Amino acid sequence: MATLITTDRRLLAHDPGQGHPESPARLAAVLADLERAPPAGVVLEAPRPATEAEIEAVHSRPYRTSLQALAGRRARLDQDTAMSEGSWDAACLAAGAAVGAVEGVWSGRVQNAFALVRPPGHHAEPARAMGFCLLNNAAIAAEAARRAGAARVLILDWDVHHGNGTQNIFAARPDVLYASVHQYPFYPGTGANDEVGSGAGKGFTVNCGLPGGQDDADYGVVFHDLLLPAARAFAPDLVIVSAGFDPHERDPLADMQVTDRGFAAMCSAVAELADGACGGKLVLLLEGGYDLEALATSVRACLEVLGGRRESFPSGAGTVAPRAVAATRAALQAAKRPLPAS
C-alpha cells in the first residue's frame, strides 16, 4: 500500500515576513527535492480546507473568527507569529491536509501518510496563536480521528520545542496520549519531565526534556526506554507524529545533534510501534525545521521509512538521556501510571 503525501503550493502563501525562520522557502525546499526525485510508492493529494467544525473541535469560536477576520491582511499576533494576506487560507489548508492524511490512513486507502504543511501547529493554544503556529494541526487531526472512530490516539512530538498547545488541549483526557521529547529548558518554557497531565488525563502526558547537545544515540535511549513503552502500554488505534526537524545538528534555532539517520531511526521506531499496535496506521505532520537542506534530506529519509526502509539508532548514548528518562518514569509512577520496563 502507498504512502499519501498531502501538501499544496498554496501553503507557500503564508509569509510571516522578511528574515523570519518559518519562511515559505522551507516547504518550497522540500517540494523541490521531491520533484527532483519523486520517492517510490507515494501518492500526492491536494488538501481541502479544514471545516469550521473541524477547527472548532480544538479552537474557540472567537479565536477562529478573529483569525478569519484577518484574511487578506497583514497582522502581528505575538512577538514571533505573524499573518500575511494568504495566511488564513494556508492555515485552513494545512489543518485540512492533516485531516486528509488521517482520513486516508484511517479508511485503509493508504498505509501511512505525511502532511507536508505550514504554518506549523503544536504551539497554537485553543484561543491563542503562538510560536509561528496559527491552528493546531496535530490536535485537529487527532480530533478528526476520534470522530472517525479511533478510540485512542497517540501524538508523538519530536520537534525540538515542546508542543505546549497540543499538551494543553489534551492534558485532562485519557483518550489522546501526548508524548514529547524536546530541548529543555527552552522555548516555550513548558514540558518539564514532571508534567504528566491532569484529572482523568493524569499519566497520559509524557515529557522528556533534554539539555542541548543530545545525539542520535541519546534519542535512541529516549525512544526505547520511554516513548515506545509508554506508547505500547497506551495501545493507540492511530499514531500521529508532530514531526519537527529542528533537533537536526544543522538547525539554526536549537542545539541538538540529530542527523538524517536519527530521524530515519525515530520514524522506523514509530512505524514499528504502529505496526504492532494498529496495523501500521501512522500519520506524520510537518512542524518545525529551519535549515533548508537538513529539512529536505530528513523529510526524504522519513518518506523512505514510510515506504518500508528501516533504520536503527546507533549505540553509545551518554548519561544525560538515561537520567531524563528515569525522571519521567518517576513522575509517571508518582501519578500512579507507572510504565512497564522497556
Question: Residue 132 or 313: which CB sits closer to Zn ion?
Answer: 132
Stretch that binds Zn ion, among 38-46, 180-188, 240-248, 292-300 (CB under 5 A): 240-248
CA distance 138 to 148: 15
Instruction: List the one residue from 159, 225, 251, 260 that touches Zn ion (CB under 5 A).
Output: 159
Rule CB under 5 A: is residue 22 a binding residue for Zn ion?
no
* CA R_g for the chain: 18
CA distance 172 to 121: 20
Q: Which is the catalytic residue, given 122, 123, 161, 248?
A: 123
Rule CB under 5 A: is residue 251 a binding residue for Zn ion?
no
Q: Is omega for the bond preceding 314 within 30 degrees of 0, making it cis? A: no
Rule CB under 5 A: is residue 104 a binding residue for Zn ion?
no
Contact call for residues 86 and 73 (beta carbons, < 8 A)? no
Question: Residue 181 or 339: which CB sits closer to Zn ion?
Answer: 181
CA distance 42 to 29: 18
Instruction: List the one residue from 143, 237, 246, 291 that touches Zn ion (CB under 5 A).
Output: 246
203-220 as b/e, with b when 16 or more CB fall inside 10 Å?
bbbbbbbbeeebbbbbbb
CA distance 198 to 124: 19
Question: Residue 100 or 121: which CB sits closer to Zn ion?
Answer: 121
Question: Residue 110 or 284: which CB sits closer to Zn ion?
Answer: 284
Stretch that binds Zn ion, among 2-10, 32-40, 152-160, 257-265 (CB under 5 A): 152-160
- Residue 93 has which C-alpha cell? 489548508
Question: Residue 27 or 105: which CB sits closer to Zn ion?
Answer: 27
| Residues with Cβ within 8 Å of residue 328, at least 6 apart in sequence | 193, 206, 207, 208, 226
Provide the 10 A C-beta neighbour count for residue 307.
15
Stretch that binds Zn ion, among 18-26, 96-104, 155-163, 290-298 (CB under 5 A): 155-163
Name the closest residue to Zn ion (Cβ): 288
- Interface with Zn ion in residues 64-103 (CB under 5 A): none
Instruction: List the one residue from 241, 288, 317, 337 that touches Zn ion (CB under 5 A).
Output: 288
> Minimum distance from CB of 59 to Zn ion (Å)?
20
> Minimum distance from CB of 205 to Zn ion (Å)?
18
What are the phi and psi torsion angles at 235 (to 5°)?
55, 65
Instruction: List the one residue from 220, 229, 236, 244 that touches Zn ion (CB under 5 A).
Output: 244
> Minimum distance from CB of 116 to Zn ion (Å)?
16
Instruction: List the one residue from 14, 26, 118, 161 that touches Zn ion (CB under 5 A).
Output: 161
CA atoms within 13 A on the CB side of 211: 6
Contact call for residues 242 and 224 (beta carbons, < 8 A)? no
Size of the site for Zn ion (CB under 5 A): 5
Contact call for residues 127 and 207 (beta carbons, < 8 A)? no
Single-letter amino acid, residue 32: A
> Minimum distance from CB of 186 to Zn ion (Å)?
9
Question: Residue 24 or 131: which CB sits closer to Zn ion?
Answer: 131
- Residue 30 has which C-alpha cell? 522540500
> Minimum distance from CB of 246 to Zn ion (Å)?
4
> Minimum distance from CB of 201 to Zn ion (Å)?
23
Rounded to the nearest 10°, the torsion over CA 254, 255, 259, 264 is -60
Mark whether 123 is an active-site residue. Answer: yes
Question: Residue 252 or 318: which CB sits closer to Zn ion?
Answer: 252
- Pick the closest to residue 244 from 128, 120, 125 (CA basis): 120
Residue positions annotated with a catalytic role: 123
Task: Tell me which residues touch Zn ion (CB under 5 A).
Answer: 159, 161, 244, 246, 288
